[in-house]
Structure 1
Amino acid sequence: MALITFSSLSPSLVSTSTSYQRLIHLPKVLLQMTVRKQCSFVYVSINLSPSSEVISNPPAAQRRLARYHPTVWDSKLIDAFTTQYTYELHGARLERLKQNVAITLLAASTSSTKDTTSTFSMLKLIDSMQRLGVAYHFEKEIQAVLTSLGSSSTASTSSDLHAVALQFQILREHRIPISPDVFNKFTTRDGRFKYSLSKDMEGLLSLYEASHLGMLGEDHVLEEAKSFSAKKLRQLVGTLEGEDGLLKQLVQQSLETPLHWRMQRIEARSFIDIYQKDDSMNMDLLELAQLDYNIVQSVYQREIKELSRWWRDLDFEHKANFSRDRLMENYLWAMGVNYEPQFSNCRIGLTKFVCILTVIDDMYDVYGFLDELELYTRAVYRWNMEAMEKLPEYMKPIYTAMLNFGNEVTDNVFKNNGLSVLPYIKKEWVNLCKSYLVEARWFYYGYTPTLEEYLKNAWTSVGGPGAALHAYLLLPGCNIITKSSLDDSIKHGSQIIYWSSLITRLSDDLATSKAESERGDVAKSIECCMEERGISEEEAQDCINELIYYSWKKINEESSKTAIPKSIVKMSLNMARTAHSIFQHGDGIGTSIGVTKERLISLIANPIPIITQN
């Protein structure tokens, strides 16, 4: 293939017996792939000796600096965060609102058994609860309602496109089987959607959102649904004014980023403003969303203050001043993966992981000499303080922080259930540093990898597998984890973690490769694609965007598999969503002013004014 082989995309995407007939529905960029021997990349295996392909006379050693801007969040500013919306002060009101909304959900689910109109109302209620960020309070109730609903009722009997598409979307989100054939009633004999739907704005919007829950092999319906709805929405959105202003806002948001790809906490903040202008809103649900948002924000403030003290004690501002100082921005990753208040320890631990990873990444990517990076990689293999003795002075505090954090997570898990997870943690740090070393060698020897070579390494170097393992170990339920359950979770979840990591890497590359190329960094996916295929930057970006869309279909496919723990599905989905959000308007980490700063202010610093009932 000109781009990347199936085997490097995924351990189980194809086998050597794959026929051409099974490939005809793949995107154009992927039709050129060559089928090779199936292999597994759960843990990337990298040879520690330089490749014979890239041996040349390396350039003279010269220390590089990326010159990242200083943090815009100093410790005094973080310590000053405060809010009146604590659970201690407002918990009683929150619980009453939860009871009221639960009664509304029960009433809606009871009515839904009677007619399709009531079913549609119940689905709209659940959709609003999810988008407002409060569905986590009602997980069991919602799952029970949707399981009883199944793929029948509205989808099989309704002629309302909005109702059918919404049911398809919500059932898919909750891993309940439903076939895209439910849309056949809206198509002509040649598979095209009927022209009579062209002005059904709400139906088209719902169809567009549902199309992003598609899997491979469903292109005959869902690709046509996406193409048709997107075209019609773009044609119609300019005609929406006045009373249709809310609908216009929803359409514009979806055409920019579909709902399935959005970071949930950012969506909650945005949808609260939209929902309160909706004449059909449920007042209890709106107040619950506003109050819950503010109370959860108080949890975030407490966590970031604790993390600020930890970060200050490491003193990387001085000991590793070549690196990005991005505590708040790295916390955004952790919040994106698990935003609910009960995952406090997970967010704190995951933020520490990303902070240490960022410093090590910058050390390999920019600052370190190759011989120093070889030494550091060998020291990670040894995983003890004695291995630090031969390291350069600037590396020692970084190595110590990595060891201390890994051992801290290990001790906490062992304390809870007597299981030592150090081999798993060590393996992820080894894999991560090996992947960094590969990229450092590519740069040092002036080698541009093929896209296949790049992605085989880059899905690990982006930190996805390591983040997924740490997040899983740090979940509140980790006290019931066993070696068997951990191995099974890693085994069954390896594919969805792979595709999520790939989306994270490709989203990162689309936002950062230009700046990194200008400062002379190793080639990223876009440059690899341009050089390998002899195409323009714009064409290469189109290829990468197609690969992202393809990867989302694989995530959707993996999400439907019941063998994968729900927690891993959720974290993998949310990691990809967070990557889209952070890199949507450029490098939201390296250059963390503008949109990133505004979002952090909204998510952590500023509460929502609460509209109470009269």
Structure 2
Amino acid sequence: MASMASFSCSITHLKNRHDTHRLVNIQKPQYSSQTTSKQVHRVTVKAVETAELPVARRSANYAPSIYSFEYIQSLSTEYLGEDYKARANSLKDKVKMMLHEVESPLSALELVDNLQRLGISYHFDDEIRSLLEVVYDTYYKTQDKWNAMDLNLKALGFRLMRQHGFHVPQEIFDNFKDITENLKPESREDVLVILNLYEASYHLFDNESILDDALEFTTKYLKENLEKMDESISTLASHALELPLHWRLPRVEAQWFIDVYEKRSDNNPTLLELAKLDYNMLQAVHIEDLKHQSMWWENTKWVSKLSFIRDSLVPSFLWGLGFGYLPHYSTGRRALAKIVTLTTAIDDVYDIYATLDELEKFTDAIDRWDIHALEGLPDYMKICFLGYYNTINEIAYNTLADTNILNLTYLRKALADLCHAYLVEARWYYSGYKPTFQEYMKTASISVAGPLILAHLKFETSVHATSEVLERMTEFEAIDRYSSIVLRLTDDLGTSTDELARGDILKSIQCYMRDTGSNEEEARNHMKELILDAWKKINKERARADTQFSREYVEYASNMARTGQFMYREGDGHARPEINKSHLSTLLFNPIQLTK
């Protein structure tokens, strides 16, 4: 959380002068480790009383959005037409025939893998499930079948089976080191075995030492032999080493893999045409969603009224797209994009602009969820409170009307928890307190807004089973916690440098360095280890999903972790959307050229 102006909340003669507040760039005063909270209080009071100026407020100097309201509203697409739908349906019928006519387990698994990576497997959920059940029962269910399978079939099958909830133990790879001894990096087929084993190992659970060893071995092998590989396979290997397939956003992976697949000599023209066409048709749905969100955001007037906040509409919409990109998820995508956009602005209130006294009052107003609480807030906070109040109440109303679930209590609690976490960090800032790593993570895994997002996701699935949603609240606490940890740590890895430069509190990396005496590189590597550990736990929770609703929800929760890894892999892709501009352009604005 970024720092705020260090001025005491006890100066009553400044409390009601919000109409004259000025945005100024100031630096947080430096305090020694012995400085007490009371000493900070005296120093800041003196600063204000001497200056006799309105409350000085920080600015993060956020750049205007690179996507204007006018530009977004001007977007159009032809891919909602009936001719495209008819062609897509014809291609889907051909693919269904392929799924029914596969002749070997390896060809079946490779077809499923290609459909997933091309982003079109959702059209064939029932067919894929049936096909995997047959392959599982025939080849993976009992140990006596394993010895007759080659390592490539084991690895690809293991990954797909675990991904789809089938139980396959790690012991299937008991002798993987013996099998890999004679593999040659110059052979495309041999490297593909290593690559499939590498990708499979990322589906490991806690205490699966065989898969730990497989991950370590394959990572080292791929890194050491990249230059010896054929170009077509080295492209796949480099891509995997940057981020494993299991941690990648499906929509972004489809964008990349369509191009790679088209260059393959063995590509299937039907799959390729359907992938391109479907990509463009989905993009057309996303454009309509974005235009709807743009109109909503413009009507809130937050950008013009709250000049210190980030105009994060497009990156916030990308978060919604990351959680669920399929066409039936349009309502949930729009709702989540609203929540992320508003939360980004509220984060700026707590991080950058507000005084501690104002934050105490605002947090109390969120707790009370009462419009009468507006009376004690400054004008800019009235806008913030009412914006949240109206949006969350509207979302809760729509959920009630559609599903008969009254979820307002859950949404309010998640927002209140978030604001309380923000407030804890604000108090750390004002007192100059430096938390331990454990203290930081306890609060920061909430302040990253993961629990708030997931509270909304639970009610935005396509499966509206009232009793099941409510009955599984406790069951989902584990995956909520672990996906929020991944989000927090990836956020810190990508943003802490920028945020510390403007005077923020210490992040996970710096807290760990203080606790252990580690240098920054060691601390960053430790954060990456913790991310892997959290994913092991996410994988275990995924394996426990046993209904359509639970499988869909844990996929969304996993996608939150994946979206974080995408947004922050090269820096603060949320606050600085230019970092992901090429992805945004392809995902939202530029259709893929169809083969003529």
TM over 0.5: yes
Structure-1 separation of matches of 2:426 and 2:255: 40
Partner of 1:607: 591
User: Runs (4+) of structure 1 moved beyond 6 Å?
Assistant: none
Q: Is the 8 A contact 1:164 1:182 kept in 2?
A: yes
Partner of 1:462: 448
What is the SS of the residue equivalent to 1:491?
coil
Q: Is the 8 A contact 2:437 2:512 kept in 1?
A: yes
Give per-residue Cα distances to partners, 1:40-71, cap 9 Å, x unaligned. xxxxxxxxxxxxx9665346274111111110
Amino acid at match of 1:277: K
What is the SS of the residue equivalent to 2:473?
helix
Give per-residue Cα distances to partners, 1:540-562, cap 9 Å, x unaligned. 11111111111111111111113
1:575 aligns with 2:560: yes
Partner of 2:59: 65
Deviation at 1:198, TM superposition (A): 5.1
Partner of 2:136: 150
Aligned pairs for 1:17-32 (under 5 A) are none
Deviation at 1:159, TM superposition (A): 4.3
Structure-1 separation of matches of 2:40 and 2:429: 12
Give per-residue Cα distances to partners, 1:94-148, cap 9 Å, x unaligned. 111111101101111xx3xxxxxx1101100000000000011111111121123
Aligned pairs for 1:71-86 (under 5 A) are 71-86=65-80
Deviation at 1:601, TM superposition (A): 0.5
Structure-1 separation of matches of 2:196 and 2:546: 29
1:170 aligns with 2:160: yes
Structure-1 separation of matches of 2:242 and 2:405: 45
Aligned pairs for 1:494-533 (under 5 A) are 494-533=477-516
Gaps of 5+ in 2: 1-35, 45-54
Deviation at 1:293, TM superposition (A): 0.2
Q: Is the 8 A contact 1:492 1:563 kept in 2?
A: no
Partner of 1:6: none
What is the SS of the residue equivalent to 2:474?
helix
Identity of aligned residues (%): 37
Q: Is the 8 A contact 1:168 1:210 kept in 2?
A: yes
Structure-2 separation of matches of 1:466 and 1:415: 21
Structure-2 separation of matches of 1:412 and 1:346: 11
1:224 is matched with which residue: 213, 222, 242?
A: 213
Aligned pairs for 1:97-136 (under 5 A) are 97-108=91-102, 111=103, 118-136=104-122
Deviation at 1:492, TM superposition (A): 1.0
Structure-1 separation of matches of 2:514 and 2:56: 26
Partner of 1:203: 193
2:316 is matched with which residue: 330, 336, 343?
A: 330
Aligned-pair Cα RMSD in Å: 1.7
2:222 is matched with which residue: 193, 211, 233?
A: 233
Deviation at 1:151, TM superposition (A): 6.3
Q: Is the 8 A contact 2:404 2:466 kept in 1?
A: no
Q: Is the 8 A contact 2:445 2:485 kept in 1?
A: yes
Structure-2 separation of matches of 1:87 and 1:123: 33
Give per-residue Cα distances to partners, 1:146-184, cap 9 Å, x unaligned. 123226527714442222100000001101100111112
1:541 is matched with which residue: 504, 521, 524?
A: 524
Range with bigger deviation, 466-475 or 522-531: 466-475
1:377 aligns with 2:367: no
Gaps of 5+ in 1: 1-52, 112-117
Partner of 1:13: none
Amino acid at match of 2:198: Y
2:264 is matched with which residue: 264, 268, 278?
A: 278
Amino acid at match of 2:395: V
Aligned pairs for 1:383-402 (under 5 A) are 383-402=369-388
1:299 aligns with 2:264: no
Structure-2 separation of matches of 1:87 and 1:375: 51
Range with bigger deviation, 97-106 or 469-478: 469-478
TM-score, L = length of structure 2? 0.88
Amino acid at match of 1:237: L
Structure-1 separation of matches of 2:81 and 2:254: 19
What is the SS of the residue equivalent to 1:426?
helix
Structure-2 separation of matches of 1:563 and 1:323: 42
Partner of 2:354: 368
Partner of 1:26: none
Q: Is the 8 A contact 1:436 1:461 kept in 2?
A: yes
Structure-2 separation of matches of 1:262 and 1:130: 12
Q: Is the 8 A contact 2:88 2:278 kept in 1?
A: yes
Partner of 1:593: 578
Structure-2 separation of matches of 1:294 and 1:194: 41
TM-score, L = length of structure 1? 0.86
Q: Is the 8 A contact 1:54 1:442 kept in 2?
A: no
Structure-2 separation of matches of 1:394 and 1:198: 65
2:203 is matched with which residue: 208, 213, 221?
A: 213
Deviation at 1:232, TM superposition (A): 1.4
Structure-1 separation of matches of 2:86 and 2:264: 27
Structure-2 separation of matches of 1:55 and 1:359: 30
What is the SS of the residue equivalent to 1:609?
coil
What is the SS of the residue equivalent to 2:182?
helix
Aligned pairs for 1:426-465 (under 5 A) are 426-465=412-451
Q: Is the 8 A contact 1:345 1:475 kept in 2?
A: no
Q: Is the 8 A contact 1:151 1:177 kept in 2?
A: no
